[in-house]
Structure 1
Amino acid sequence: MTRAWILPVLLVLFGSAVATGLIFSGNAGAATALLLMFVLLAGMNSPLIFPRSIGALEAQRRSAVDGRPVIFWRPGCKYCLRLRLRLGRSAHQLHWVDIWRDPAGASAVRAANDGNETVPTVIVAGRPHTNPGPEWVREHLSPSP
């Protein structure tokens, strides 16, 4: 299991344990609601909510061709999640790189952020921007062909 899935799995396991305790104490409704909440929280912190990640080199190559920004992210990052959710459907037009799965992506982020793996880091026209707002990212999207 990669570390991207550790937090979501722990959330589901913890939610299941608490829900089991509630069921044994006779609170089936509360157990169901709590378990659903933990499953949703796990889903939001998993790689599933983000568009499919590609390698940093491939993302940079594609960005050079189509002019779309590259977003370096990692699962469990609340700022990455905020950016992803606020971008809505336009998030699929961007090139996403999971720095926990791609060492070249992690290296690119460290190079842009004084040795720190600060995400989200967005590369637009070869220039890095750390934790930009969703509106700013949306402004830098090229029209789709």
Structure 2
Amino acid sequence: MSDVTIYWRPGCGFCARLKDTISEVSDNATWLNIWQDEDAAAFVRSVNNGNEVVPTVVIDGQAHTNPDPGLVLEALTGS
């Protein structure tokens, strides 16, 4: 299983889709709300050319902007 951090915000449809897809293993990831955590928002901007694009998912240190949910599921399950 990989180390996974998911940066998200309320009202984000892509974030909701990701959460639905990985619902059975979502507790294995760290979820950071960029509207409540300024450091998280700053990180997201730093990897997205100044934009707060979510979901931004970090898998083993590598940032992925709006990744395919299957990639995140694979990282969380190790399969």
Q: Answer yes or no: same fold by TM over 0.5.
A: yes
| 1:48-67 alignment, distance < 5 Å | 67=2
Q: Which digits, 9 at most, give the CA deviation of each residue in 1:100-130, with x for residues without a partner?
A: 0000000000001000000000011211100
Q: When you count helix as a share of all residues, which structure comes out higher?
A: 1
Cα distance in 1 between the residues matched to 2:32 and 2:64: 15
Larger RCO (CA within 8 A; separation ≥ 6) = 2
In structure 2, the residue matched to 1:122 is 57
In structure 2, the residue matched to 1:92 is 27
| 1:1-145 alignment, distance < 5 Å | 67-141=2-76
Is the contact made by 2:25 and 2:77 (CA closer than 8 Å) also made in structure 1?
no
> How many residues are aligned here?
78
- Offset of 1:138 from its aligned partner? 1.1
For normalisation by structure 1, the TM-score amounts to 0.51
Which ranges in structure 1 are unaligned for 5 or more consecutive residues?
1-65
For normalisation by structure 2, the TM-score amounts to 0.90
The RMSD of aligned alpha carbons is 1.5
